[in-house]
């Protein structure tokens, strides 16, 4: 059974989604119970998957869908590949989904009414898509899974208030553009290599020395543009603030911690597995320094856009944009320390963003107010919620000994190690610190 952990992990929420739709019958409670069971099983399986990855010497698990034998020299069927980082992110996705479902028991009926079973079905399909994105080793299958997550996200966001429909439509437009860029890039790669398996594409490019081919360079640029659009890297971020702000609270608390982080992981896999470090960090390439500076702009812009907001959800969504800048910048530093910081920041930012969003949603439910003045005096009324919110805020600032401090420390060290340290030290504490200080001490 342990040999089939990757596919079982995907089948559990997929089957749960089907049951919610077929047997929910407009009853959110029944759908909630089904979701709890299916996501609980997925969470347990993800723990076993991580333990299995840690126990093997090869460093990763490969699972071939349908049992296709790659003895021909090329992968024919779809392959799943899970290393330690992938297993950790899968665990984060399933745990956040499970905890979010526990909290959603009373909120979903109040916010979406009779659509509750469809809400739970879509959440589970979204988890299937996210876990599949993390594990797949097939470039086209990655596109399919990205579209599954996108379509479910559009529907989940549209279940919110009246403004949610327009926000979802904007997301559809930007998401379609991003997906088209990615698919065009994969098409160029397939034309040149004749395969869609990520490892085989890299091997072919290396053996044929196609790194200077104009088609390969264009493919790389198109894929990066598509992924950056999906992760809302500034200035491709326009869809995110309204989408996460106007969506049902349980949608925001799930999507905000995970969607952008999973796409950052996709970017890293494309960089290191598909094209390879020699191509991405080539001495002749100007991309590295250019994109690091783009990430610095994203950090500054996201932080100061957050400062200008008096709505707690809007402020947090712009801070997500700033945090994406940290992760992208770390990934593009030609430094193992910087890349480790980016990996660590994916996990730490998922935890602190989940903490902030779920605390903010509790405050909004309790006070009926999303403006910052709703936080006045809440430490006395809601001490546990505000303690959780404060811990998340301090972690986002990067205050020791929170997880945000350690990830940003690695990012700073990686910048210095790669000779690009001038961009990072002055940014680690300033804009995010100002945003959090305003959040706690300067209500309107």
Rounded Cα distance, 22 and 211, in Å: 50
Quote the distance between the C-alpha of residue 37 and its chain's center: 24
Per-residue confidence (pLDDT) for residue 441, from 0 to 100: 42
Per-residue confidence (pLDDT) for residue 152, from 0 to 100: 92
Per-residue pLDDT of the chain (444 residues; tens, 9 = 90+): 567 888 888 998 999 888 888 876 767 788 888 889 999 999 999 999 998 888 887 678 888 876 666 555 555 678 888 888 899 999 999 999 999 888 887 777 777 777 778 888 899 999 999 999 999 988 899 999 999 999 999 988 888 777 888 888 888 999 899 999 999 999 999 998 888 888 888 888 888 888 888 888 899 999 999 999 998 888 888 888 888 888 888 888 888 888 889 999 999 998 888 888 888 777 666 677 788 888 888 888 888 888 877 788 888 888 888 888 888 888 888 778 878 888 888 888 888 888 888 888 888 887 777 777 767 777 777 878 888 888 888 887 777 787 877 877 887 777 777 665 555 554 454 444 444 544 444 444
The backbone torsions φ and ψ at residue 30, rounded to the nearest 5 degrees and listed phi first, read: -65, -40
Rounded Cα distance, 370 and 258, in Å: 22
Q: Is 3 left (phi over 0), alpha (psi -120 to 50) or beta?
A: alpha
Per-residue confidence (pLDDT) for residue 369, from 0 to 100: 75
| CB contact at 8 A, 167 and 247 | yes
CA dihedral 23, 26, 28, 30 (to 10 degrees): -30
Per-residue confidence (pLDDT) for residue 76, from 0 to 100: 62
- Of 113, 251, 236, the C-alpha closest to 177 is 236
- Of 179, 192, 180, the C-alpha closest to 274 is 192
């Amino acid at each position: 059974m342990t040999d089939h952990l990757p596919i079982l992990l995907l089948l559990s929420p997929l089957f749960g989604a089907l049951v919610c739709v077929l047997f929910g019958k407009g009853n959110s409670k029944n759908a909630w119970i089904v979701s709890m069971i299916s996501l609980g099983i997925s969470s347990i399986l993800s723990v076993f998957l991580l333990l299995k990855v840690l126990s093997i010497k090869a460093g990763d698990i490969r699972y071939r869908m349908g049992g296709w034998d790659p003895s021909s020299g090329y992968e024919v069927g779809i392959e799943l590949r899970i290393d330690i980082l992938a297993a950790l992110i899968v665990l984060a996705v399933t745990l956040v989904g499970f905890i979010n479902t526990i909290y959603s028991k009373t909120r979903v009926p109040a916010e979406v009414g009779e659509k509750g079973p469809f809400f739970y079905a879509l959440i589970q399909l979204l988890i299937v898509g996210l876990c599949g994105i993390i594990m797949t080793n097939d470039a086209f299958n990655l596109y399919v899974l990205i579209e599954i997550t996108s379509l479910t996200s559009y529907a989940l966001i549209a279940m919110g208030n009246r403004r949610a429909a327009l926000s979802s439509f904007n997301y559809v437009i930007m998401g379609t553009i991003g997906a088209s860029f990615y698919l065009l890039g994969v098409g160029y790669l397939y034309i040149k290599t004749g395969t869609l398996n990520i490892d085989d594409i890299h091997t072919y490019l290396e053996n044929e020395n196609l790194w200077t081919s104009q088609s390969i360079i264009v493919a790389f640029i198109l894929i990066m543009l598509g992924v950056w659009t999906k992760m809302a890297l500034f200035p491709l971020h326009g869809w995110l603030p309204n989408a996460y702000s106007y969506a049902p609270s349980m949608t925001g608390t799930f999507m905000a911690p995970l969607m952008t982080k999973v796409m950052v992981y996709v970017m890293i896999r494309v960089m290191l597995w598909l094209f390879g470090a020699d191509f991405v960090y080539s001495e002749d390439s100007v991309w590295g320094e250019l994109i690091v500076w783009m990430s610095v702009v994203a950090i500054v812009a996201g932080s100061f856009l957050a400062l200008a907001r008096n709505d707690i959800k809007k402020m947090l969504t712009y801070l997500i944009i700033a945090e994406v800048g940290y992760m992208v910048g770390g990934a593009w530093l030609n430094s193992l320390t910087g890349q480790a910081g980016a990996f660590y920041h994916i996990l730490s930012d998922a935890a602190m963003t989940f903490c902030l969003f779920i605390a903010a949603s509790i405050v909004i439910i309790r006070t009926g107010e999303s403006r910052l003045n709703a936080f006045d005096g809440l430490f006395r009324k809601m001490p546990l919620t505000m303690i959780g919110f404060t811990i998340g805020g301090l972690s986002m600032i990067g205050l020791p000994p929170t997880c945000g401090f350690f990830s940003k420390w690695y990012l700073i060290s990686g910048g210095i190690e790669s000779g690009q340290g001038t961009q990072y030290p002055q940014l680690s504490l300033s804009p995010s610190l100002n945003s959090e200080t305003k959040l706690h001490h300067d209500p309107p």
